[in-house]
Chains A and B, each alone.
Chain A
Amino acid sequence: MREIIYLDNAATTWPKPPKVVDAVVNYINNVGGNPGRSGHSMSIEAARIVFDCRESIAKLFGINDPQKVAFTHNASYALNIAIRGFCQKPLRIVSTMMEHNSVARVLESLKDFGCDILFCPCDKNGFLDFGSFEKALYKRTDLIVVNHASNVTGCIQDLKTISKLAKKYGSTLIVDAAQTAGSVPINISELGIDVLAFTGHKGLFGLQGTGGLVFSDNFDYKRIKPVFAAGTGSKSESLTHPDYLPDMLEFGTVNAVGLAGLLAGVEYINNLGIDKIFEGETIFRKMVFDELLHMENISFFGSRENSTGVVSFIILGRDQSEIGFVMDKKYGVMTRVGLHCAPLAHQTIGTFPTGTVRISPSAMTKTDELKKAIEVIKCLATK
């Protein structure tokens, strides 16, 4: 079998820690029940695992009440549920030019509902232009939605300043943490976030099909109305969907096998230490910049500092899809080429519509793997 260097962890992490695999296999082989849909031992054991996962997510993000974690299929579902659920009437919403389509498309679609949407400019590295941002808030703004870190440049937005401005101008703050959950320390209470959306299959090392919303202890979650209605295993006598968390925002059977894996993923992160993981990503990023920034025919996008391990580049004069293809087929290096579902971000950094080649490590990436990938990029850039 050929050697693979997987550097597409911003899309989904691979490999998963062995304990995640064990937890999933154990669930399938030995647990198997539907949490909350029956009262037998297998169903109750499934519910225990789901609750343990809920509790571990609450702790990870610094909230006290595990009931304020609602599981969804992924971050996109979470963001749709939060944003659409918040918009019960036409609102003014301010966001940024670095948003993924999981936010940008939702907001764009809300224009048809009469919402006033503004995407604030960011600099060439992707960092929010706070002058424009605060000016945008002068006009009464109901909701702010921001991407914690870009999936294109890796830039981490200054959430403390954003939340201070949100409080100052009376706006609710929803944060898309798809790229940072599990790789950047996040304490919702300390950062002043109202609602955080996360995915389970990236930095948290869970399975695809997991994600959720986390609500600040102080946020009145009833300001978000359920956008779906379904069976929840509770209040079964009623035709009205529950109005309490987490049932209010969990529609139908949760992905319990996925959450078993996510629980093991969060335990893996806690054992490594999220500060260490972030430190590792920072070292990787600096290594890439130090090794390649001086090369004349490579352009980098993003900053060396205040960023995740995600690095975007182009090799000048070459079709970037060809670079990605050769890296995969000839050298076994997995990257992601193109617009990364973030057209506004690529417009911001000047790479629209062709996009960039993106490499993204995880806590499982070995230094030697990154060194080899850097040599491959050097080799391709000098051809």
Chain B
Amino acid sequence: MSCHQMNTYFIFDSLSQVMQVEKECKKLGFNVNVRITPRHLSSDCGVCIVCNSLLEDGIVSIINDIGVKIKAIQREENG
């Protein structure tokens, strides 16, 4: 097992989508955070959703259920 935890970043087109996803995930007990989008992931000036990669599949399922389009998903090591 790696000593480094993997994080998954979900990028969306709009802030409003980020807020909707955050609210829905928290309502269903998924621990997600909203943070400034890492500059190497997007040149956008917005925010994204980040979570432990172990939660990724569940969160994708939630996002699909509420009909929000994911712009990009990126996994990164949390050093």
Interface residues, chain A, CB within 8 Å of chain B? 35-40, 43-44, 47-48, 50-52, 54-55, 65-67, 232-237, 242, 244, 246-247
Number of A-B contacts (CB under 8 A): 70
Report how far A242 CA is from B16 CA in the complex, Å: 13
B15 touches A237 (CB 8 A): no
Q: Would A48 and B44 be within 8 Å (CB), given that A67-B14, A234-B13, A234-B14 are in contact?
A: no
Give the chain A neighbours of B36 by CB distance below 8 A: 38-40
A-facing residues in B1-50 (Cβ within 8 Å): 13-20, 22-23, 34-37, 43-47
B79 within 8 A of A: no
B45 touches A51 (CB 8 A): no
Report how far A106 CA is from B30 CA in the complex, Å: 47
Complex partner residue of A47 from B13, B19, B43, B68, CB under 8 angstroms: B19
Report how far A53 CA is from B47 CA in the complex, Å: 19
Q: Would A233 and B15 be within 8 Å (CB), given that A36-B46, A39-B36, A44-B47 are in contact?
A: yes
Closest B residue to A244 using CB positions: B13
B43 touches A234 (CB 8 A): no
Complex partner residue of A247 from B14, B22, B45, B67, CB under 8 angstroms: B14
Not counting A47-B19, A51-B19, A67-B16, a sample of 14 additional A-B residue pairs whose C-beta atoms are within 8 angstroms of each other reads A39-B35, A39-B37, A51-B20, A66-B16, A67-B14, A233-B45, A233-B46, A234-B13, A236-B45, A236-B46, A242-B13, A246-B14, A246-B16, A247-B14
Report how far A244 CA is from B23 CA in the complex, Å: 20
Give the chain A neighbours of B34 by CB distance below 8 A: 39, 44
Count how many chain B residues have C-beta atoms less than 8 Å from C-beta atoms of the other chain.
21
Report how far A50 CA is from B15 CA in the complex, Å: 10
| Listed A/B pairs (12) with beta-carbon separation below 8 Å | A35-B15, A36-B46, A37-B45, A39-B35, A39-B37, A47-B47, A48-B23, A234-B13, A235-B13, A236-B45, A244-B13, A246-B16
Give the chain B neighbours of A52 by CB distance below 8 A: 23
Q: Would A39 and B23 be within 8 Å (CB), given that A67-B14, A246-B14, A247-B16 are in contact?
A: no
Give the chain B neighbours of A242 by CB distance below 8 A: 13-14
Complex partner residue of B23 from A51, A237, A247, CB under 8 angstroms: A51
Interface residues, chain B, CB within 8 Å of chain A? 13-20, 22-23, 34-37, 43-47, 67-68
B19 touches A50 (CB 8 A): yes
Report how far A52 CA is from B68 CA in the complex, Å: 16
Closest A residue to B37 using CB positions: A39
Q: Would A66 and B20 be within 8 Å (CB), given that A36-B15, A246-B14 are in contact?
A: yes
Report how far A50 CA is from B68 CA in the complex, Å: 17
Give the chain A neighbours of B16 by CB distance below 8 A: 47, 50-51, 54, 66-67, 246-247
Report how far A110 CA is from B42 CA in the complex, Å: 41
Closest B residue to A246 using CB positions: B16
Closest A residue to B47 using CB positions: A39
Give the chain A neighbours of B67 by CB distance below 8 A: 65
Shortest Cβ distance from residue B37 to the other chain A in the assembled complex, whole angstroms: 7
Closest B residue to A44 using CB positions: B34
Shortest Cβ distance from residue B38 to the other chain A in the assembled complex, whole angstroms: 10
Name which of B14, B16, B45 has the most chain A CB atoms within 10 A of its CB: B16
A48 touches B14 (CB 8 A): no
Report how far A172 CA is from B34 CA in the complex, Å: 38
Name which of B44, B45, B68 has the most chain A CB atoms within 10 A of its CB: B45
B20 touches A234 (CB 8 A): no
Shortest Cβ distance from residue B46 to the other chain A in the assembled complex, whole angstroms: 6
Closest B residue to A45 using CB positions: B34
Give the chain B neighbours of A44 by CB distance below 8 A: 34, 47
